[in-house]
Structure 1
Amino acid sequence: MNIADRISVLYHYGMARRKRRWSGREELERWQEARVREHVRRVRRESAFYRELWGDRPSAEWREFPIIDKSVMMEKFDRLNTVGIRKEEAFALALQAERTRDFTPMIDGVTIGLSSGTSGNRGLFLVGRRERRTWAGTVLAKVLPGPLSDGHRIAFFLRADSNLYGTVGGGSLQFAFYDLMDPLALQLARLGKQQPTLLVAPPSMLRLLAEKQKEGKLAIRPERVVSVAETLDPLDRGVVEEVFGQPLHQVYQCTEGFLGATCRHGTLHLNEDVVCVQKDYVDRERRKFVPIITDFSRTTQPIVRYRLNDLLTELEGICPCGSPFMALEAIEGRCDDLYYLPALDGSGWVPVFPDYLARAVMAASPDIEEYQLVLHAPDRLNVRLRVSEALRAEACRRVAETIGELCGTMGCRTPSMEFTDYTFVPGSRKLRRVERRFRFDPDTGLVF
């Protein structure tokens, strides 16, 4: 990293650390509005896709502009990005990086990334040089366990590396990427040698590392542990926090940007200093919504009125940290994993949220070490449990009972349950504790 890049990263780090820039929510929203309008005017000039999509509608009406999603972004990729990169070219480079595990090549200084594609639809992301510096400064400000000047050793686990992640290294910061595809023995040896002060990994890997630490096969003392990339389940949180003796923090990061991070109280706040979030409520009474985001920090691949596939739950009340940024109670997972079960009275379908199912399993037995629920059809549920053989029969009985009680309370039919062993190993696939394996159209009730 050259001097100009370092200065830029430090500038954005300082800006993100200024948590009291706004006196309250109203002032923050006025500031956001001005930034988004300015951003929309620039995007209209530089992106042919958005220019045609918005037509002559004034920038002040941006909140009513058409909504796009990943499928639209990928279909219109060539005309949506502002640097003239073609989808075919970007995919070719990203796939080559996946095969060779060399993630350093760029196109004209632009980082090319490929999402994991858990929904079966892999997405591309482009990040320019200025955006990499902005991202690095913001991440460091919100994730490091202490001031930047203290110096830190960062261990970062993910399925694929990127030039984006390496931007955080340099100077007093030591950054090491750990490929989830590497053998566990190699990862444990590297961790023992590095002794990271900041450990960042998907919760399934953090859980595995915690178990190795408990077994005496790993001995590290990170000052902060951060969960990324997968939905954080309370069962995993409990084990990781117990072993490492500290609260587990979270980062909400996806192809579409750096969307959130936990404060010192452990509350997950959306990063509304770089992204504006509109809420499409799935259940307003239960505070559950799908975010529609506008990232006013990105221009290479503009994200304007983009509907994510994530299901979020707002925090009830105000976080004691005093931040005006929107606070979340939980990231529940993907909308595609929301269960739809037939109503008992035959009137249609009943949505059952992933967190309800997770709570039912955890309430069933304290002896369950890990679990996964996979709904293959509205009447067929596969329950995968990790539990000692001596306690397995009772645990299975109790899980069937608590899920049945939940379905009765929700007014839906209980699916038949098949119990199998839990076998997930961290690696190329993301862990989804609650998963739906069929497509469902809630408007028509069609299952396919």
Structure 2
Amino acid sequence: MINKVKRLLAFLKGYLLAKRGKHLSREKIDKMQLKAFNAFRRNVLVKSSFYSLYSTDNLAQFPVINKAIHMNNFDTINTQELVKKDALNIAIQSERSRNFKPEYKGFSVGLSSGTSGNRGLFVVSEQEQAQWVGYIIGKMLPLSIKKHRVAFFLRANNNLYQSANGLMISFQFFDLINGISANIDELNNFSPTLLIAPGSVLRRIAQSPTRISPSRVIAVAEVLEHEDRQIIEQRFNIKVEQIYQCTEGFLAASCSAGNLHLNEDTCIIEKQWLDKSTGRFSPIVTDLRRTTQPVVRYLLDDVLIEDTTPCECGSAMTRIKNIEGRCDDVLKFKGITGADVDVFSDYIRNTIISSSDEIEHYKLTQTDKNKVLIEIHPLKPKIINNITQGLDNLCLRLSVISPEYTFKAIPLKVGMEKQRRVVRLCNG
């Protein structure tokens, strides 16, 4: 009974926080963050042997860490004396068996998809789950006397997602390991009012013979490509929304005007500028709600583009024009002066997709300083010629030397891995 009351209170706390945050001024957001961090430092970080060394400092005096540092210090960062090896074994076994219910000492465990080369491990308590559910419902879903039927396509399920089932939500997980075709009949029978999936999966669903007519469609887990957005919106006749969430936290969501805002009522997000003139930065995240596995000044390997234009929704939270990809997806070409030049993935994507209306799928990989592999579907001489000319023109505009292009056919399919259409494999 006590645990149920605690979960209910945590749910209400998350829900009310989401509703309140929409109406805060920038000044009030900053004051709330400072107050919340001081409480977080006093009540949570003192229980972490890794962070207790900094427990009397302000945020700027805490170290900036990345996934490798966080995972290497998992045992001392978490506040519940959890052991990485044991938590990892449970998470891996859940992935293999596709049974995501097992817990570790009463905590839910899960893995990130590992597109950065090494997988991340996350652990949350029942109260953290309840607060997350309350917050995401308050942020994304309107009150309704009818249940929202939520269909969720992802690589892996987790107790965190299943905890959303309740009075307001009927939640159903669709396992991507089964493929899209195998899930269509079940999806039709479920008839979701809300469809959540990676952008590339949403596109395949939109192109499938499904009969569903969701009132909301939300893209998660990977960069939402412009061409995917167009196909999805044309099929379902609604605007695609976005949720930016990773193992490090629920970081951003679309507002009522359809624009993406950072969730600065629950997270402090500092900017490591990559190109301030274009608004590109990597986020340094401090999640003020994570009590089991604190996330403090965690540098993500993502490229976000800030939009300083005031949003018509009225939110004072930082507006994001686009989630562009990972820092490893920024290509490095040799400039005409001899120095390396960063070529952002957004430039590449826009150039390729504007080359032909026939392009259904593509991936560009920089394999060497002056070599790129372009996999394309369909592979046609005219498309190859258009892409080559487009990229050559882009290189001319950016004052870089055009690389050597190799073209290859790519199958049209949806797999378990996150879709990355621009990748750099060589060192800068």
TM range (shorter): over 0.9
CA distance in 2, matches of 1:250, 1:20: 17
CA distance in 2, matches of 1:143, 1:383: 37
Partner of 1:99: 96
TM-superposed deviation, 1:425: 2.4
Deviant stretches of 4+, over 6 Å: none
Q: TM-score, normalised by structure 2?
A: 0.96
Partner of 1:444: none
Partner of 1:380: 371
Matched, 1:404 2:392: yes
Partner of 2:356: 365
Matched, 1:141 2:138: yes
CA distance in 2, matches of 1:357, 1:128: 41
Question: Which shows bigger deviation, 365-374 or 326-335?
Answer: 365-374
- What's the CA shift string for 1:241-293, capped at 9, x where partnerless? 11110100000000101111001211111111110110010001111001111
SS at match of 1:439: coil
Q: TM-score, normalised by structure 1?
A: 0.92
TM-superposed deviation, 1:19: 4.2
Matched, 1:285 2:277: yes
Q: After the TM superposition, which residues 262-341 of structure 1 pair with which residues of structure 2 at under 5 Å, given as runs?
A: 262-341=254-333
SS at match of 1:193: helix
Partner of 1:87: 84
TM-superposed deviation, 1:7: 5.2
Matched, 1:185 2:185: no
CA distance in 1, matches of 2:354, 2:308: 23
CA distance in 1, matches of 2:61, 2:393: 42
Question: Which shows bigger deviation, 411-420 or 305-314?
Answer: 411-420
Give the residue type in structure 1 aligned to 2:108.
Answer: T
Give the residue type in structure 2 aligned to 1:399.
Answer: I
Partner of 2:45: 44
The answer to whether the 8 A contact 2:33-2:268 is kept is yes
Question: Which shows bigger deviation, 310-319 or 135-144?
Answer: 135-144
Matched, 1:196 2:192: yes
Question: Which shows bigger deviation, 133-142 or 38-47?
Answer: 38-47
Q: After the TM superposition, which residues 19-98 of structure 1 pair with which residues of structure 2 at under 5 Å, given as runs?
A: 19-22=21-24, 24-52=25-53, 54=54, 58-59=56-57, 61-98=58-95
Partner of 2:17: 15
- What's the CA shift string for 1:99-155, capped at 9, x where partnerless? 1000101112111111111111111111111110111111112222x3244321000
TM-superposed deviation, 1:410: 1.0
Q: After the TM superposition, which residues 203-214 of structure 1 pair with which residues of structure 2 at under 5 Å, given as runs?
A: 203-212=199-208
Partner of 1:150: 146
CA distance in 2, matches of 1:156, 1:430: 15
Partner of 2:403: 415
Give the residue type in structure 1 aligned to 2:138.
Answer: A
Structure 2 residue runs without a partner (length 5+): none
- What's the CA shift string for 1:274-332, capped at 9, x where partnerless? 10110010001111001111111111000111111111000131111110111100001
Question: Which shows bigger deviation, 403-412 or 250-259?
Answer: 403-412
SS at match of 2:278: coil
Measured at CA, do residues 265 and 48 of structure 1 come closer, stay the same or move farther in structure 2, by a change above 3 Å?
same
Partner of 1:248: 240
TM-superposed deviation, 1:4: 5.1
The answer to whether the 8 A contact 1:43-1:50 is kept is no
CA distance in 2, matches of 1:149, 1:86: 43
CA distance in 2, matches of 1:281, 1:308: 12
The answer to whether the 8 A contact 1:140-1:148 is kept is no
The answer to whether the 8 A contact 1:206-1:240 is kept is yes
Partner of 1:446: none
CA distance in 2, matches of 1:327, 1:139: 18
Give the residue type in structure 2 aligned to 1:276.
Answer: I
Question: Number of aligned pairs?
Answer: 426
Give the residue type in structure 1 aligned to 2:93.
Answer: Q
Measured at CA, do residues 20 and 339 of structure 1 come closer, stay the same or move farther in structure 2, by a change above 3 Å?
closer
The answer to whether the 8 A contact 1:233-1:433 is kept is no
Give the residue type in structure 2 aligned to 1:365.
Answer: S
Measured at CA, do residues 205 and 42 of structure 1 come closer, stay the same or move farther in structure 2, by a change above 3 Å?
same
2:118 to 118, 121, 134: 121
The answer to whether the 8 A contact 1:253-1:259 is kept is yes
Q: Over aligned residue pairs, what C-alpha RMSD do you find?
A: 1.6
TM-superposed deviation, 1:162: 0.2
Give the residue type in structure 1 aligned to 2:223.
Answer: T
Partner of 1:219: 211
Question: Which shows bigger deviation, 76-85 or 372-381?
Answer: 372-381
TM-superposed deviation, 1:233: 0.7
TM-superposed deviation, 1:370: 2.4
